[in-house]
Homo-oligomer: A and B are copies of this chain.
């Protein structure tokens, strides 16, 4: 028995044990357990992927884990040391799941690169992470070319989906696996070892790396499988639509593996028809995606009623941006129950889930939709609060608006090799999310805006999200973004950028009138600009920075 203490030295961090320790085993939470469990208990559960050529490849958790172990052995033979980063440049496919598990099993860090980033940013990330090896889909070799000079990987292994010859300096992934040998001894890892990493897209300054640990991944997976409205159970068929290079694939491959659920992967084919084909053919019960994907799926289901037969009770976890209540209702009518979650790269990513509580079970549908249109309450092990500009903690009255802060075992405590953004953490250890929220008395958050997306007009804040949600409820509107543009008198004024539904027509005045019924006059955008489609980031979010740039010099009349 001895006192608890933590102290740091440059080469050693020492933690003394608890004052009165319990008598439980010291069993680390690592992916070695996940691999052992899944291989032993669920070897025949399917893992299914659409390949780049659109064909379907059927495998099983037993085979995927065996290959992941082979990858771990081969990388170790190739010289991987504990903590070394292995980058991936891959679509959602079987080999990518093998990397997600196999690299950490070898003690390495799996680092998925976001293939939709600008080559400069992309190169910076691979070189800042000091990625030693790269696993790349052959169909993505052109993307690799753009950064190869900037990120001198020691070795590049190509997952071959086509018969194209290997480029110079590249090796075959199949040969890598074949080199595994048979006497691999997996390292005994501390649960706080890094297992994977992702970079934030970096709205200010350079992109920042977040290193997930074995512990954080396992705890996040458990939280994703907790009984409620949209958890992952063994019996589920999980469709991991969100790109695996985006915020650790929302944790889906890890949670599906831990629970032994069937996993379906869309490959590069993210159009609504391809997704609907898999939802139907594989009898998907749980999926995920940003709201735009559900807009496209809604439109496809309406355009061709009866073509796809979705599994009754199909649930979808939606995150990435606010989900308009209208879409929630429309999808419910089409047989898909959408659930909000909230999170970001720094939160592994999921921090909240949308649930109707047992104390609200008697509410009518109207009231329940209102709850589900919010962003949910904190997952077990995550703590939330919101604070004003002076750092004062605000009340949960659904009125006070402030920055959301969080803490928990799967929330980042720092960025990898960077102190540039240390102000993202408060002195008392909370992470500043940059999201501006209200919190109601039930602890359910309502995202008012990203702090950078709020429009500041004449000293008053206008929420672009609220205006966008209202516009999306208009029958003619397919998608809408509201941005603040510099204004000579008001500092900033909102304008709406709108894409109409095919065949629909609406005038700017009509939409402004539509909003005027719901908002104060000074909150209604001064102009509506019609476009074919909104520009999107690599992960499907509206690229507001581009819109702000485009309309920076707005011709105020």
Chain A interface (Cβ < 8 Å from any Cβ of B): 1-2, 4, 11-27, 29, 33, 36-37, 40-42, 44-45, 82-83, 107, 109, 188-195, 209-216, 218-219, 222-223, 225-228, 231-237, 258-262, 355, 357-359, 361, 377-378, 380-381, 383, 396, 407-416, 429, 431, 442-443
The prevalent SS among residues of A at the interface is: loop
Q: Is the CB of A383 within 8 A of B36?
A: yes
Q: Apart from A25-B407, A25-B409, A225-B226, what 16 extra A-B contacts exist at CB < 8 Å?
A: A22-B215, A23-B194, A24-B410, A26-B413, A27-B409, A37-B378, A37-B380, A42-B357, A44-B359, A222-B222, A222-B226, A226-B226, A226-B259, A227-B228, A227-B233, A260-B357
Query: Is A109 in contact with B211, judged by CB distance below 8 angstroms?
Result: no
Q: Which residues of B contact A225 (CB under 8 A)?
A: 226-227, 380
Contacts A41-B377, A190-B17, A442-B41; A262 near B358 (Cβ below 8 A) = yes
Q: Which residues of chain B have C-beta atoms less than 8 A from A4's C-beta?
A: 188-190
User: Within the complex, what minimum Cβ distance (angstroms) separates A301 from chain B?
Assistant: 26
Q: Is the CB of B358 within 8 A of A261?
A: yes
Partner of A19, one of B193, B377, B380, B407: B193
**Residues of B contacting A429 with CB < 8 Å?**
25
CB-CB nearest in chain B for A235: B358
Whether A415 contacts B23 by the Cβ 8 Å rule is: yes
Task: Using known A-B contacts A24-B213, A40-B443, A215-B24, determine if residue A193 contacts B18 with beta carbons closer than 8 Å.
Answer: yes
Contact B23 A416 (CB under 8 A): yes
User: Contacts A227-B226, A383-B33; is A25 near B411 (CB within 8 Å)?
Assistant: yes
Tell which of B259, B359, B381 touches A27, judged by Cβ atoms closer than 8 Å: B381
A337 to B: closest C-beta gap in Å: 15
Selected contact of A192 from candidates B22, B210, B258, CB within 8 Å: B22
Who on chain B is nearest to A6 by CB?
B26
A413 near B25: Cβ-Cβ < 8 Å: yes
Chain B residues, Cβ within 8 Å of A25: 407-409, 411-413, 429, 431
Shortest distance in angstroms between A460's beta carbon and chain B's nearest beta carbon? 31
Measured CB to CB, the closest approach of chain B to A53, in angstroms, equals 29
Residue among B29, B45, B361, B414 making CB contact with A359, cutoff 8 Å: B45
A18→B192 contact, CB < 8 A = yes
Cβ distance A152 to chain B, nearest Cβ, rounded Å: 21
Q: Are A409 and B20 in contact (CB under 8 A)?
A: no
Chain B residues within an 8 Å CB radius of A237: 358
Q: What are 27 A-B contacts with C-beta separation under 8 Å?
A: A4-B190, A17-B192, A18-B194, A19-B82, A19-B190, A20-B82, A23-B210, A23-B414, A23-B415, A24-B211, A24-B215, A24-B410, A25-B408, A25-B409, A25-B431, A26-B413, A27-B408, A29-B381, A37-B383, A40-B396, A222-B380, A226-B226, A227-B231, A227-B232, A234-B357, A234-B358, A262-B358
CB distance from A222 to the nearest CB of B (A): 5
Inter-subunit contact A258/B380 (CB<8 Å)? yes
Q: Once the chains are docked, how many angstroms separate the CA of A429 from the CA of B24? A: 12
Contacts of A23 in B (CB 8 A): 194, 209-211, 412-416
A2 touches which one: B12, B192, B195, B359 (CB < 8 A)? B12
Do B190 and A18 touch across chains, with their CB atoms under 8 A apart? yes
B226 touches A355 (CB 8 A): no
In the bound complex, what is the Cα–Cα distance between A189 and B361 (angstroms)? 36
Partner of A411, one of B27, B259, B412, B443: B27
Q: Which interface residue of A17, A211, A378, A411 has the most chain B CB atoms within 10 A?
A: A17
Contact (Cβ within 8 A) A1 B411: no
Question: What residues of chain B lie closer than 8 Å to A29, measured between beta carbons?
Answer: 381, 409
Q: B21 touching A193 by the CB < 8 A rule?
A: yes
Do B20 and A109 have beta carbons less than 8 Å apart?
yes
Tell me which residues across on chain B come within 8 A of A407, comparing CB atoms: 25, 27
Expressed in whole angstroms, the Cα–Cα distance for A111 and B532 within the complex equals 68
Q: How far is the CB of A263 from chain B (nearest CB, A)?
A: 12
Complex CA gap A24/B414 in Å reads 7
Q: How far is the CA of A442 from the CA of B260 in the complex (A)?
A: 12
Contacts of A213 in B (CB 8 A): 18, 21-22, 24
Q: Are B443 and A24 in contact (CB under 8 A)?
A: no
